[in-house]
Homo-oligomer: A and B are copies of this chain.
Amino acid sequence: MGETSMRVTVWGENIHDRTDERVRAIYPQGMHETIAGALREALGPGATVRTATLDQPDHGLTDAVLESTDVLTWWGHAGHHLVSDEVVANVQRRVLSGMGLLVLHSGHLSRPFVRLMGTSCSLRWREADDREVVWTVNPGHPIAAGIPQAFVIPQQEMYGEYFDIPQPDELVLISSFSGGEVFRSGCCFMRGSGRIFYFSPGHEHFPVYDHPIVQRIIANGVRWAAASARTHYVTTQCFESPTGWFEHLGAER
Interface set of A (CB-CB < 8 Å, partner B): 92, 96, 98, 109, 115-120, 122-126, 128, 130-131, 133, 135-152, 158, 160-164, 166-167, 169-171, 174-182, 184, 189-195, 212-213, 216, 227-233, 235-244, 246-247, 249-252
Would you give the shortest CB distance from A207 to chain B, in whole angstroms? 17
Would you give the shortest CB distance from A140 to chain B, in whole angstroms? 3
In the complex, chain B residues whose CB is within 8 Å of the CB of A135: 160-162, 181-182
**Contact A233:B192 (CB < 8 A) given known A115-B118, A149-B162:** no
A244 to B152, CA, bound (A): 11
- Please determine whether B171 and A192 come into contact, CB atoms closer than 8 angstroms: no
A126 to B177, CA, bound (A): 19
- Please determine whether A229 and B141 come into contact, CB atoms closer than 8 angstroms: yes
Would you give the shortest CB distance from A117 to chain B, in whole angstroms? 6
- Please determine whether B137 and A194 come into contact, CB atoms closer than 8 angstroms: no
In the complex, chain B residues whose CB is within 8 Å of the CB of A143: 229
A233 to B128, CA, bound (A): 24
Would you give the shortest CB distance from A38 to chain B, in whole angstroms? 13
Residue on B with the closest CB to A116? B118
CB-defined A-B contacts under 8 Å, sample of 14: A120-B237, A126-B241, A126-B242, A135-B162, A135-B181, A137-B161, A149-B249, A151-B251, A160-B241, A164-B235, A174-B184, A176-B180, A178-B180, A213-B251
- Please determine whether A96 and B119 come into contact, CB atoms closer than 8 angstroms: yes
